Amino acid sequence: MVFAQQSSSIRPATPLDPNRIRADFPILARHVRSGAPLAYLDSTATSQKPQQVLDAMDAYYRLQNANIHRGIHTLAEESTAAYESARARVAGFIGARDPRELIYTRNTTESINLVAQSWGRANLRPGDLIVLTEMEHHSNIVPWQMIAAQTGARIGWITVTEDGLLDLDSYARLLEQHPKIVGFAHMSNVLGTINPAREMIRLAHAAGALTVVDAAQSVPHFPVNVAELDADFYAFSSHKMCGPTGIGILYGKESLLEAMPPFLGGGDMIKRVQFDSFVPNELPHKFEAGTPAIAEAIGLGAAVDYLAEIGMDKVAAHEHALTDYALERLEEIPGVWVFGPEAVHKGGVASFKVDDIHAHDIAQVLDEYGIAVRAGHHCAMPLHEKFGIQSTARASFYLYTTFDEIDQLVEGIYKVKELFS
């Protein structure tokens, strides 16, 4: 039989009290399976939602529900004000200069597709180079493969080193070919690697390229300022940052968005329509066709308020302490292999293998003990292929994660090993 060893790892101090924060999240009080307390370690896939977000969305539907931008009655005016107020608060949260530079989308995936199909169709020509990294989520690969097929552009890849960092020498070689656009994740959803976004953007601009940053894993987890980064396009999702599903943000520099053709056609994205032509609306409405996710935008605004009140610097410090502790504890277990760089270079993600046990089996056994982790290729099949594996189990952490839950994970992995020994 396999037994867990007493940990010698020291729990570092963090600026947050996760037990106090957990009181805001009703779902974290749940027990699952055979009465085991829930240890939710899947926040990279989607975060849980605090009561403050649930209350804001409930209040909208109970007291304000109306369509926006079109009506002049009280409910329409209140709904419009709440919807646009949320946009302004999100803009402040990421350091955007003007709320008009924020486009509401359904998620990060739609945001990147918007850039690929609108900017890409207008600007890419046969032979033009698109630069991506080997650690990208499918959402920052497939849209560019699609537009490359449509336009005749080609894709070059920044390689990933064995320790899970980007090979910036390969990036420099690709920039010598004068690409049109560079796409990369600010933080990898598999490796946890936090990439040097500001430097990568600076180098891309020096080579004449624009940049599109997949920020799905950065905005929820550490302070971000798009103006300081000088990002051209920056995409992220509400549901990974304590907000609801079904809404995301595309930040784009005003001059770029103004020059891009509309992405979808229909109501509210037009200023004028005739039988033979139309004139698109002003930013940001130019890219927001049809009735939007109003309640979800209000929920995202409440999530931003919640995170801002806690302080993103504190969230980042807490997650770093958790990650450092988790990596130490996982390294204690024989047969566990954790992917990605050292804790100093990564966020709150630990993707791992256990002996030759399939990741789905690991996740299923852990679930019997109330431990929720992800299993699979995490929408990053090329990256897994690069490392010669089909799948990994992934534990991910957030502001409500505790050191006790990491200890639960370690105990659970020993139980997995015992079952399959």
32 and 138, same domain (yes or no) = no
351 and 277, same domain (yes or no) = no
Q: Is residue 6 part of a domain?
A: no
Please state, in angstroms and rounded to a whole number, the distance separating the CA atoms of residues 334 and 357.
13
* pLDDT tens series, the chain, 421 aa: 444 555 667 888 899 999 999 999 999 999 998 799 999 999 999 999 999 999 999 999 999 999 999 889 999 999 999 999 999 999 999 999 999 999 999 999 999 999 999 999 999 999 999 999 999 999 999 999 999 999 999 999 999 999 999 999 999 999 999 999 999 999 999 999 999 999 999 999 999 999 999 999 999 999 999 999 999 999 999 999 999 999 999 999 999 999 999 999 998 888 898 999 999 999 999 999 999 999 999 999 999 999 999 999 999 999 999 999 999 999 999 999 999 999 999 999 999 999 999 999 999 999 999 999 999 999 999 999 999 999 999 999 999 999 999 999 999 999 999 999 8
Q: Are strands 181-185 and 210-214 parallel, antiparallel or unpaired?
A: parallel
Q: Is residue 407 part of a domain?
A: yes
25 and 61, same domain (yes or no) = no
294 and 398, same domain (yes or no) = no
Q: Is residue 336 part of a domain?
A: yes
The token pair that represents 276 in the structure block? 């033979």
**Catalytic residue flag (residue 379):** yes
Instruction: Give residue for tokens 């987890």.
Output: 221
Please state, in angstroms and rounded to a whole number, the distance separating the CA atoms of residues 22 and 16.
11
Catalytic residue among 38, 88, 207, 379: 379
Please state, in angstroms and rounded to a whole number, the distance separating the CA atoms of residues 119 and 122.
5
The CATH number assigned to the domain holding 386 equals 3.90.1150.10
328 and 254, same domain (yes or no) = no
Q: Is residue 290 part of a domain?
A: yes
pLDDT tens for residues 221-261?
999 999 999 999 999 999 999 999 999 999 999 999 999 99
Q: Are strands 277-280 and 270-274 parallel, antiparallel or unpaired?
A: antiparallel
pTM metric for this prediction: 0.95
81 and 227, same domain (yes or no) = yes
293 and 404, same domain (yes or no) = no
> What's the domain count of the chain?
2
- At 305 the three-state DSSP class reads helix
Whole-number pLDDT of residue 278: 93
Among 286, 309, 332, the domain boundary falls at 309
Q: Is residue 61 part of a domain?
A: yes
Among 309, 328, 347, the domain boundary falls at 309
Q: Is residue 179 part of a domain?
A: yes
Q: Does the bond joining 223 to the residue before it have cis omega, within 30 degrees of 0?
A: no
Number of residues that make up the chain = 421
Decide: 340 and 323 in contact? Cβ < 8 Å.
Answer: no
315 and 261, same domain (yes or no) = no
Question: Taking CA 100 as the corner, what is the angle to CA 94 and CA 104, rounded to the nearest 5 degrees?
Answer: 75
94 and 219, same domain (yes or no) = yes
Helix (H) or strand (E) holding 45: none
The token pair that represents 175 in the structure block? 């920039």
Decide: 93 and 222 in contact? Cβ < 8 Å.
Answer: no
If one counts every other C-beta atom within 10 angstroms of the C-beta of residue 377, the result is: 17
304 and 321, same domain (yes or no) = no
Residue 215 domain boundaries:
53-309
Please state, in angstroms and rounded to a whole number, the distance separating the CA atoms of residues 257 and 254.
5
Among 265, 282, 309, the domain boundary falls at 309
